[in-house]
Every structure is written in structure tokens, then in C-alpha cells.
């Protein structure tokens, strides 16, 4: 999965998260054990944990030893210290010996049960044949003292009593032994209520401590998960945006702007959410399940088969739901792209939409895209809405099974109520672990699709590559010399060239004009200069170096490019004019604004160069926006300035002044002007006329008027006969020459 690969630089965070999850799971899963102890020991046994009392009267211990073997007597004697002045002996042995299967516990449990029974009265025939009537402890002591009953007979009688209890003997012996300890504490003046409260207080503190540990570990896990996910999203966003910034128009067209925006925003947001869930839930679920299974197996309740039933049921539910929804999740992101694309088109084209009264049509088109997305989301949401009820049904059914069969175990004396409750909690934790995985599995497929979409962008190599061995112009190379040498160009996957065999040279202080009909390839031609596209035939050189062999940063540092649509960025006038970087000084900025005829309107704005510019330059007019775009290109003092039909938004007067300023102040730069108006380029040093990507005329304005019918036809549509300076006969002769 591509999601997992994102963690390759965050191994330490994963290890830390896993360690914290293990701590949290162990703390959480220790709570049912303590709950079981509270029920079994704190409530049912009054807080007395072991049949081995903390203190016991010396006489009572002597009575117990009557029913012990010699080895057990030695064990018990070693576990208790000397009697104090009140005749009470305190336990000094180890805690292991008084544990459930400890040596002292095993030695004292049965004798305590026998003594308790004797204190309540038993049939004398259980001790010796021929004896009748009821026996109590006093009678037994007297019989042993008189030699009527040997001690071994008492030991054998106790064992026989235990055997007669059958399978429930262990449970009964423990309960009776605890009752004996309670009586012993009462005889010593110890309050049983205080014992119970002390035990419950101790267990409460332990459980509170575990809850605190779990809380801290969970909070830290969340912090690690959030930080890691945000870092991954930030890095992905940076890498994706960096890749997009290096794309040529061909790669941007391949994905579409709307799709690239979705991939940089919505898709990465999906990945961020998925990585957070992966750390907090996907890692936690198996750890929680494994720890719960280990604890379940340690309880030996005989109900382990219920877990298998629960897991099989959960897997069946998940399998059906995922089979229904997975194809829909894969289609969902495409519908998101479609909605974004339609919305972007509507916002970009809001003016023509209103002008043509097509609001209703566009709303219907948007509704169609939105409905496709809505129907897919509704299907997946409705399908997944069955998950929680079905999971709860599974959990409740498993709970009923545990209670039903557990109740029989409690009734048979092979299980305690607390053990059943603990087993139930562990089983629910295991089912919850599977449930968490299934809930996350709903989001992971969509995130996986998003990761693939982002990866497509990252793996796409731009057609405009940095040269392996960048070259720089030599010291004696002419500065600002731009040469097109038999240049041809075809778009990717196109069957024919859109530019064919174009050649020209323009040097510093010279102006090259490019004109032609709409679709003749003018903009495509000048986009080859800054390598927005690469030539497919011939070569373009700047200062004697093929532009493909010059580093992109160096090439674009030497070129000032003004596109057809002057786009400004949110900020200030100054930040836009100094967009080329810190190399642009205030003097350069003001000089460029003056050449571009922007100084006057900048001065009239409140704040001048510090005045705000809205996104896209929406708070300035089209002409002002275009002049600022021109000034931005001139401010970095480029060697070559390319104007891609950048004067179209300017009035004739401003156009003329700007060209005059360019000729006066840009003598060290070559100027390339794409224009629709003859007046803009008629004073150019050289003019290239394009028609369907081919050069059909090349020369000065006067030369082309007399030799190029295509140029003359454009000129006639824009200039008067007087401005043309040609007679009708001369015009007819040129046009006839073109027909031939």
C-alpha cells in the first residue's frame, strides 16, 4: 500500500507510537482483571484475598495443625512468627506462598474448612467408626489429647471430606476458608468492613493509576499521530506543488488544473486523515486484539470458542460490505474532480455566462456533476450505515453466549462471576479491535486512491528537463542575441507540426515583431524561448547557447516573459513588481513602472507602491493589470523581453508611449513582440509573418507591404490607404503575386 510507504521517513515516530499503544492497551486490558477481583474478592470475599490470614490466634493455628500433615505443619509454622502478648501470630512468609496455589495456601485451606465445619457441628462418624452424635472442635481436641483419635486419622478424614465434594471441592474449600478467615478477624477484634474498604480503596487506586497511564499514553499517541500525519501531508503538499511548478503546459493539460488542485488539497487531506487513523487505530487494533487474546487464554474459562464465533461473524459482515462499497470508493475521487472542474469553469467564465444568460444551463451542468458524486456517496454511506448495527448485534449475541454458558460455569462452581465479567470485557475488546479495523478499512481505500493520484503527479516527469551539464554563454558571446535556427514544434501526441522551419535572429537593441492570423502559432513560437515547451526540430539559442543546454533558472533569469493574460498575485504593487526576487531594487521597480506607463496610476493609488493588489489583480483594470505585468518583466532587466500579445489591452496612445520608452531604455535587450495590431510592430527592426505555423513573410514593415500578401491583407484591415503609402495598383500587384 502506498499509504504505508509514506512512513519510511518516520520510523522513529511509528516505533514510539507502537510502544505507547502497547502501554495503553496493557493498561486498559488490566482493568477487567481488577474489576473481576473487586467482584470476587472485594464483594464476595469481603476484601480478603487469601485463605492465609495476615494474623491468626495461636490457639486457632494449633487447631488447624491437627488436620495437617507434618510437612504442612512445618510450612505453616515457618510462615508465622511468634505469638505476641495477646496470643496472636502474624504472617511473615512470602506473598508467593500465600497466593492462590502457594504452599501455605494449600496447607491451610482444607484445615480451615474442616475447623469451620466442626465449629458448626459435624457427624462424629466422619472421624472414627463407632462414634455417634455431633462433634465440635472442643470434642476433637479432647479426643486427640486422650489418644482416642490419632492425628493421622484427622488428616485422612479431612482428605476424605475434600474428595467427597467432587468437582466443586476447590471452589467450596476456598469459600469456606475465606469464611474462616473472616471469623478469625472478628475474633481478633478486626473490623471486616475496614478490611473490605481497605481492599476496595487499594484496588481503586490501582485502577485509577492504570486509567491515568492509559490516558497519558493515548494522548501522547494522538500527539505523535497528529504530528506525523501533518508532517507527511506538509511534505507531500510541498513535493506535489514543487512537481506541478516544474510541469510544462503539456503536463498541466494532461491532468487539468482542476484535478491538480484536487490532488494538492482534497487528496492530500484524505491521506493525512488516513495516516492519523493508521497510527491511532490500525496499529492499535491488532495490538489490542493480541493482548486481549493472551489474557483470555490465561483465564481458562472454557468459553474461548465464543471469540471464534464473534470473529467469523465480524469478517462475514465486513466482507459483504467491502465487496459492495469498494468499487464506489474508487470512483468517488473522479467525481470530486468533475465537480471541481465544472465549478472552476463556471467561476472563470462567470461574465460570458451572464452575458449569454446561461446561468440555468450551467447550474444544471453543475447539478449533474454534483448528483453523480452525491449518489455515490449516498450508496457508500447507506451501505456502511449497516456496519454499526450489525457489529452491535454480533457483540450482543456474543455477550448472551458468554452470560449463558458462563452462568452454567458459575453454577457448577468452575468459574466465578468476576472471571465471567472479565472474559466478557476481553471478548468485547477483541470484537472492538476487529470493528475498528473495519471502520478504518472504509476510509483506507479512498485514501489509497488519493495516494495513487498524488503519486501519479510525483512520478510524472516533466518534458522540460534540466540539462545534465548546464552551459553558460562565453565571455565574448553577444549579449541578448536570440536565434531561431530552423525551428519546428509539435505538441505531444500530435500528428503534425504546428511550427515549421522558422528561422530568425534578433540582437540587443533590436525589436522583432511577430504577426499572423489567429491560430497561426504566434504564442506557441514565443513560448519556446523560456522553454515552456521544447522544440522538436532545429534549435533556439540565447547568447550562443542552446536554451536546452542552459539551466532553467539561468535561462529564465535572462528572459522577461509577459503572457497574453497579465496575472497579478495577491500582495502589493511592490511585491508584484519585485516578483523576480531580491535582485530587483527600488530603482529598477520605479524605472520599469515608468517604461510600462504605470507610474501615474500607481501614484494615484492610496499607498502608492505599497497599495494592495487582490488575487489575480481583480481590483485594477485590465489595462492597468497588463501594464503592471509588463513592468514586472522589465524590472529584472532581462536580456530578452518577450511580449506575447501583451499590448492588446492598451489604448493606442499608451501603446505608442510604451513602445517609445522601450526603444529608449531597453537598448541592451532584445525585444520580441507578438501583436495583432500592425501599429504595434510596424517600427520593429524585423517582422515575421506566420500563417499556419509557417513563415510566409520576413522583413521590415515597408518590405512586407510590397512583398507579403498576408501582411498586406492584415495592414489593409487596420491602416488607411494614406498610412499604407501604396497606390491601388501596387496593392493589386502584391496581392496578385500572392495568388500566384
Q: Name the burial class of residue 509, with classes exposed (0-12), middle (13-18) and buried (19+) by CB atoms within 10 angstroms of its CB.
A: middle
Residue 358: strand, helix, or coil: coil
Contact 28, 55 (CB under 8 A): no
Q: Determine which helix (DSSP H) or strand (DSSP E) holds 641, and give its type and residue range.
A: strand 640-644
Which residues neighbour 376 within 8 Å (Cβ) at sequence distance 6 or greater? 328, 331, 332, 335
Q: What are phi and psi of 306, to 5 degrees?
A: -65, -30
For the stretch 161-219, pLDDT in tens is 666 654 444 567 777 888 888 888 888 888 888 888 988 898 899 989 999 999 999 99
Provide the Cα torsion 470, 472, 474, 475; round to 10°. -150
Contact 693, 497 (CB under 8 A): yes
Which residue, among 462, 564, 568, 482, has the nearest Cα to 523 in the 3D structure? 564
Q: What is the pLDDT of residue 344?
A: 75
Q: What is the pLDDT of residue 164?
A: 62
Q: What are phi and psi of 55, to 5 degrees?
A: -135, 150
Strand-strand pairing, 511-516 and 686-691: parallel
Q: What is the pLDDT of residue 487?
A: 94
In whole numbers, what is the pLDDT of the chain averaged over residues?
Answer: 83
Q: Name the burial class of residue 727, with classes exposed (0-12), middle (13-18) and buried (19+) by CB atoms within 10 angstroms of its CB.
A: exposed
Q: What is the pLDDT of residue 167?
A: 46
Task: Give me the average pLDDT of each 10-residue run along the chain (740 residues).
Answer: 80 92 86 80 82 88 86 89 87 87 86 80 56 67 76 77 56 79 87 88 91 92 92 91 85 81 86 86 79 72 72 76 72 77 78 81 85 83 74 77 74 65 74 71 73 87 86 85 93 85 92 89 91 91 92 90 87 91 90 91 90 86 89 91 86 87 87 89 91 91 88 86 76 68
Q: What is the pLDDT of residue 168?
A: 43
Contact 263, 457 (CB under 8 A): yes
The vertex-679 CA angle with 677 and 682, nearest 5°, equals 110
Q: What is the pLDDT of residue 740?
A: 40
Which residue, among 670, 649, 650, has the nearest Cα to 658 in the 3D structure? 650
- Whole-angstrom distance, CA of residue 594 vs CA of residue 591: 5
Domains of the chain: 474-558+638-699 (3.40.50.300), 569-637 (3.40.50.300), 701-740 (no CATH)
Which residue, among 683, 564, 575, 582, has the nearest Cα to 630 in the 3D structure? 564
pTM for the structure as a whole: 0.69
Sheet strands (E) in 411-568:
482-489, 499-506, 511-516, 537-542, 545-546, 559-562
Amino acid at each position: 500500500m502506498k499509504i504505508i510507504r509514506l512512513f519510511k521517513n518516520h520510523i522513529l515516530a511509528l516505533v514510539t507510537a507502537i510502544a505507547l499503544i502497547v502501554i495503553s492497551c496493557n493498561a486498559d486490558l488490566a482493568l477487567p482483571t481488577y474489576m473481576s477481583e473487586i467482584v470476587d474478592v472485594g464483594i464476595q470475599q469481603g476484601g480478603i484475598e487469601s485463605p492465609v490470614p495476615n494474623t491468626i490466634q495461636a490457639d486457632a493455628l494449633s487447631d488447624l495443625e491437627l488436620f495437617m500433615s507434618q510437612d504442612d505443619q512445618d510450612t505453616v509454622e515457618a510462615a508465622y512468627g511468634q505469638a505476641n502478648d495477646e496470643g496472636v501470630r502474624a504472617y511473615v512468609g512470602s506473598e508467593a506462598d500465600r497466593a492462590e496455589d502457594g504452599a501455605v495456601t494449600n496447607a491451610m485451606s482444607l484445615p480451615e474448612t474442616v475447623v469451620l465445619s466442626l465449629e458448626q457441628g459435624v457427624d462424629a462418624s466422619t472421624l472414627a467408626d463407632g462414634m455417634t452424635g455431633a462433634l465440635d472442635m472442643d470434642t476433637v481436641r479432647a479426643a486427640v489429647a486422650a489418644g482416642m483419635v490419632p492425628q493421622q486419622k484427622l488428616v485422612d478424614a479431612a482428605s476424605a471430606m475434600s474428595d467427597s465434594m467432587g468437582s466443586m471441592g476447590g471452589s467450596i474449600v476456598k469459600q469456606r476458608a475465606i469464611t474462616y478467615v473472616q471469623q478469625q478477624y472478628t475474633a481478633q477484634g478486626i473490623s471486616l468492613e475496614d478490611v473490605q474498604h481497605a481492599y476496595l480503596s487499594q484496588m481503586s487506586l490501582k485502577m485509577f493509576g492504570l486509567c491515568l497511564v492509559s490516558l497519558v499514553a493515548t494522548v501522547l499517541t494522538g500527539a505523535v499521530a497528529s504530528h506525523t500525519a501533518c508532517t507527511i501531508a506538509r511534505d507531500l503538499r510541498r513535493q506535489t506543488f514543487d512537481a506541478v511548478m516544474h510541469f510544462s503546459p503539456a503536463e498541466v493539460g494532461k491532468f487539468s488544473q482542476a484535478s491538480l488542485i484536487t490532488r494538492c488539497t482534497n487528496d492530500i487531506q484524505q491521506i493525512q486523515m488516513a495516516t492519523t487513523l493508521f497510527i491511532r487505530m490500525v496499529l492499535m487494533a491488532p495490538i489490542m486484539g493480541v493482548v486481549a487474546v493472551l489474557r483470555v487464554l490465561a483465564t481458562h474459562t472454557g468459553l474461548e470458542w465464543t471469540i471464534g464465533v464473534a470473529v467469523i461473524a465480524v469478517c462475514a459482515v465486513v466482507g459483504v460490505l467491502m465487496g459492495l462499497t469498494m468499487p464506489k470508493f474508487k470512483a468517488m475521487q473522479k467525481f470530486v474532480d468533475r465537480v471541481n472542474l465544472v465549478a472552476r469553469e463556471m467561476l472563470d467564465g462567470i461574465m460570458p455566462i451572464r452575458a449569454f444568460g446561461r446561468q440555468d444551463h450551467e447550474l444544471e451542468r453543475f447539478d449533474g456533476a454534483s448528483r453523480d458524486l452525491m449518489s455515490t456517496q449516498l450508496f457508500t454511506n447507506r451501505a456502511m450505515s449497516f456496519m454499526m448495527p450489525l457489529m452491535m448485534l454480533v457483540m450482543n449475541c456474543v455477550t448472551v453466549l458468554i452470560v449463558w454458558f458462563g452462568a452454567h460455569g458459575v453454577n457448577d462452581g468452575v468459574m466465578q462471576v468476576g472471571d465471567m465479567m472479565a472474559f466478557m470485557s476481553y471478548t468485547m475488546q477483541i470484537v472492538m479491535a476487529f470493528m475498528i479495523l473495519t471502520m478504518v478499512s472504509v476510509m483506507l481505500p479512498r485514501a489509497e486512491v488519493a495516494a495513487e493520484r498524488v503519486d501519479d503527479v510525483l512520478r510524472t516527469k516533466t518534458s522540460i528537463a534540466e540539462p545534465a551539464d548546464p552551459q553558460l554563454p562565453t565571455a565574448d558571446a553577444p549579449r541578448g542575441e536570440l536565434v531561431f535556427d530552423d525551428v519546428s514544434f509539435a505538441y505531444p501526441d500530435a500528428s503534425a507540426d504546428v511550427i515549421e522551419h522558422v528561422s530568425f535572429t534578433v540582437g540587443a537593441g533590436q525589436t522583432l515583431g511577430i504577426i499572423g492570423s489567429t491560430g497561426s502559432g504566434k504564442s506557441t513560437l514565443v513560448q519556446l524561448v523560456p522553454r515552456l515547451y521544447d522544440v522538436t526540430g532545429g534549435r533556439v539559442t540565447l547568447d550562443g547557447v542552446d536554451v536546452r543546454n542552459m539551466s532553467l533558472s539561468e535561462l529564465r533569469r535572462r528572459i522577461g516573459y509577459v503572457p497574453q493574460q497579465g496575472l497579478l498575485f495577491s500582495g502589493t504593487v511592490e511585491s508584484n513588481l519585485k516578483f523576480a526576487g531580491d535582485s530587483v531594487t527600488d530603482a529598477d521597480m520605479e524605472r520599469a513602472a515608468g517604461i510600462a506607463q504605470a507610474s501615474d496610476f500607481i501614484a494615484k493609488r492610496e499607498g502608492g507602491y505599497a497599495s494592495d493588489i487582490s488575487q489575480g489583480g481583480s481590483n485594477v483594470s485590465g489595462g492597468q493589470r497588463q501594464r503592471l505585468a509588463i513592468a514586472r518583466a522589465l524590472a529584472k532587466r532581462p536580456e530578452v523581453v518577450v511580449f506575447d500579445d501583451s499590448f492588446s489591452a492598451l489604448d493606442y496612445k499608451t501603446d505608442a508611449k510604451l513602445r517609445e520608452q522601450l526603444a529608449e531604455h531597453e537598448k541592451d535587450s532584445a525585444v520580441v513582440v507578438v501583436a495583432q495590431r500592425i501599429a504595434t510592430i510596424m517600427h520593429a527592426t524585423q517582422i515575421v509573418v506566420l500563417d499556419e505555423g509557417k513563415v510566409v513573410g520576413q522583413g521590415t514593415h515597408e518590405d512586407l507591404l510590397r512583398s507579403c500578401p498576408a501582411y498586406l491583407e492584415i495592414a489593409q484591415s487596420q491602416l488607411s490607404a494614406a498610412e499604407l503609402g501604396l497606390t491601388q495598383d501596387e496593392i493589386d500587384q502584391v496581392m496578385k503575386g500572392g495568388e500566384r
